[in-house]
Structure 1
Amino acid sequence: MHLSAVLASTLAGVICTSFAEAQNATQKAALASLPLALSPDPEFNFQLLISLGQLPYAAGDILAAAAVLVQNSFYSFNTTFAVLANATYAAAEIAAVPNPVNAQNTYFAASNYYRSADFFLHGNWSDPLIYDYWTGQTLAFNKAIATLPVPGLRITLPAEGFDTVGTYYAVNNSTTKRRTLVIIQGYDAAQEDSYMQMGASAIQRGWNVLTIEGPGQPTVRRYQGLGFIPDYEKVLIPAVNWLANRTDIDMSKLALAGISMGGYLAARAAAYEPRIKALVLDDGVWDVQASIESGFPPELLQIYAAGNQTEFDAIIDDGIVNNASASSSARWGIDQGLWAFKTHSTYNLLQQAAAYKVQNITYLLDIPIFVGNAVDDTDFPVYKQLVSQDKNVTLHNFTGPASYHCQAGDFERSNRAMLGWLETAF
């Protein structure tokens, strides 16, 4: 199908208007049906819940930030959290000498706020704040983990054409071999989020923890300039090699957890790394391309299927990226996808995403698997197809406040379920 420029422009206008309206209506309906509404903007609400869930002692900061946010304004969100991050970091510096515990909690909070300040910046790759805020979050996080009973250890591991980056957290300083959990994130979150969401709870329960990142993920995307790769085992294998050379790791009890789109990345990595003995996928992603496409109207998908890249990208740019009336979730979703997959073309983003399909590797997954299903998740719906196969899979449905994507705002409930399951997985 080939469209003339005039027809394409007309169709773009119709699709853009209907798409923006549909996105806003869908998001408002979803928000109205769920608990814990902190902002009338659904995407802002989700990010506020993430921050709230990671920092149980900082509810006042999050509520204060929510009160001043301007709906659908990325600038409002970024600047509000930048001011909060700077003030919180300054408070941590003051507390560091007289009260190390206060300082640790405050440094963790500052790091979280810097990550929030960065979150909606990725539509402009040349924005220096993408690096400035990340420098702030890393410095604050490093100061926090330096005060843990066993300080967190930052590692850089050579892989195939890039470096895997990670942070190792030991339960104690003994050489006792302990069960160990490797955690990876997905579409947008960082390894620092992995620690706050799941790692700290795992350490409390006697697990050593290693958080890692590869291409497409925050540190590697920024400082190695690499977008996502589908064969995530290239990221994991050097990390497992590193663990195998330590004296405090029980390699017979090595588990892997993937959060959000990490549900695909972890499944793929575990399929090609036999030293992983149990797998947690929360939420899982059966098909990354299909998940992204699910938000597009049929007319737009027809243009994509016809191979009309120029027309497809123009409609996305006009209808979402440069359209102030489009929902914040739609705008951020495209911005983040282009940034993380390192392309300026949404058409190319979808082409790349076609390689991220769990059904291609399920025959290799013969270990115990936990699949978390947030029943109201609209980001990456869980892949129940895996549950229906002849696999050792436990499906856990999260409802109520935990029914958001990856249980945003209620990580303690998800940790009780996932880490409780891991107790019996080996």
Structure 2
Amino acid sequence: MKKDKITFAKGIYNLNDEDNFNFQLNRIIMWNEGNLEDIKRISHKIKDSATWKKELIIIGNQAVNEGRIKEAIAYYRMSEFFMYDDDKDKIKYYKLASDMFYKYYEEYFEDGTVVKYEVPYEEVKLPVLYTKAVGDKKDTILLHGGNDSYMEELFFAMLYFAENGFDVYLFEGPGQGNVMRIQKKHFTHEWEKPVTEIINYFDLYDVTIIGASLGGMLAPRAAAYEERIKRVIAWSIFPNFLSVILSTMPDVDQKILRRLMKMHAAPIINMIFNIGAKKDSTVEWALKHGMYAYNAKSPYEYTRKLDKFKITDVGHLINQDILIIGATEDHFINYNIFKDELECLSKVASLTFRLFTRKENASNHCNMGNTKLTLDTMINWIERIKM
């Protein structure tokens, strides 16, 4: 089913007392086209990863029975989000949501509006969706997500860019979506490697790269080593993954953990994380999923790997125009760490920093709550920089 015009939901809703559950429930509505009333009916029942899975599958089944396939896709897709990676249902519901998505929106592919490619990369294939600019082309965009992204979530952002005059290549890299869930390819901090393969495959040049969430670190990292990228949009403040994790902790705890890491105190760090996981099922999920996605065998190894996901060590190599977008109430990221990011970008052609607020309905992570405003800001910046 095709849309006459690409539109986005708007608003920030208080749906659950736990910050991450609340954000992810908003995500279902804002980025996955879920129904607010459906979510309200179950939001108070969600207490942990098990109830998250149960309740979303229930409303997914209800939506299917009522013929509301668009909503069912949203609920099935996000039902697997908090499933543990050894849960057989994780792949089952990922595949179900994905198959339903491409069937429901098959008109976009049948008439050539969107073309699906697979780009060889090492032992896997990177899925890429391409859509052509409507009217005169203003630019070419490479678009990707972050740590726990699904390419399909950015499908309508891709189409919105196309409506506004951009060729767009939307892709998943190692650690994301199909590449991790089906092909079992874990994350790499060397994001320039998959990006260069995609640029070579399509023979691109003079492109803008946009990375959301962790993509706010990955996209600039790619630009540091890929000269055909001329403009960078970091769709989240993300100077260093480890710093981002620590930024939400009290200062004393941050100092202790950093000192322990300098001492390579693996047993103590493992004990601290494991105690936290036993006390909080959300922490347990985040730890287990993170270790899986980053191919780490212990919490200590996980923290060491996260410390490789940074731009503070390559910022001096980035000489492109860059736009950094943050949010004042991002529960994942303390926006005050933006100073670390700006300071490392000493040789950029130009630097623009945009901080969205609650008044704009865009204070959540990735400005969840006002996608249109965020995308329009990106579009306006590209047009201005290319003048």
Aligned residue in 2 for 1:29: none
How many residues in Structure 1 have an aligned counterpart in Structure 2?
Answer: 363
Distance 1:230 1:279 in 2: 17
Task: Say whether residues 1:88 and 2:63 are aligned partners.
Answer: yes
Change (3 A) 1:80 1:169: farther
Distance 1:381 1:358 in 2: 17
Distance 2:266 2:340 in 1: 31
Letter in 1 for 2:129: T
Please state how far the C-alpha of 1:233 moved relative to its aligned partner.
1.0
Distance 1:144 1:169 in 2: 18
Please state how far the C-alpha of 1:381 moved relative to its aligned partner.
4.0
Aligned residue in 2 for 1:98: none
Query: Larger Rg: 1 or 2?
Result: 1
Change (3 A) 1:300 1:235: same
> Unpaired runs of 5+ in structure 1?
1-33, 93-105, 246-250
Aligned residue in 2 for 1:376: 329
Residue deviations 1:41-85, cap 9 Å, x none?
211110011111125673232323324x233x2111112112222
- After superposition, residues 164-243 of structure 1 pair within 5 angstroms as 164-171=126-133, 179-196=139-156, 198-243=157-202
Aligned 8 A contact 1:188 1:336 in 2: no
Aligned residue in 2 for 1:293: 246
Distance 1:362 1:305 in 2: 23
Task: Say whether residues 1:49 and 2:26 are aligned partners.
Answer: yes
Change (3 A) 1:294 1:345: farther
Secondary structure of the residue aligned to 1:47 is helix
Distance 1:312 1:60 in 2: 42
Distance 1:57 1:302 in 2: 44
Aligned residue in 1 for 2:6: none
Aligned 8 A contact 2:35 2:71 in 1: yes
Letter in 2 for 1:70: I
Residue deviations 1:97-149, cap 9 Å, x none?
xxxxxxxxx54433322221011113xx3211111011112102212332226
Please state how far the C-alpha of 1:177 moved relative to its aligned partner.
5.7
> Unpaired runs of 5+ in structure 2?
1-10
Aligned 8 A contact 1:189 1:217 in 2: yes
Please state how far the C-alpha of 1:241 moved relative to its aligned partner.
2.0
Please state how far the C-alpha of 1:232 moved relative to its aligned partner.
0.5
Aligned residue in 1 for 2:112: 150
Aligned CA-pair RMSD: 2.5
Residue deviations 1:304-359, cap 9 Å, x none?
43323233213312322x32xx273x344323321210223110011112222212
Aligned 8 A contact 1:402 1:410 in 2: yes
Distance 1:305 1:190 in 2: 35
Aligned residue in 1 for 2:50: 75
Aligned residue in 2 for 1:385: 340
Change (3 A) 1:277 1:152: same
Please state how far the C-alpha of 1:163 moved relative to its aligned partner.
2.7
Distance 2:274 2:165 in 1: 48
TM-score for both structures, normalised by structure 2:
0.85
TM-score for both structures, normalised by structure 1:
0.78
Change (3 A) 1:359 1:302: closer
Please state how far the C-alpha of 1:265 moved relative to its aligned partner.
0.7
Aligned 8 A contact 1:155 1:166 in 2: yes
Distance 1:378 1:211 in 2: 26
Task: Say whether residues 1:60 and 2:37 are aligned partners.
Answer: yes
Change (3 A) 1:65 1:180: farther
Percent identity between the two aligned chains: 23
Residue deviations 1:388-413, cap 9 Å, x none?
44531111110012111111222222
Change (3 A) 1:280 1:107: farther
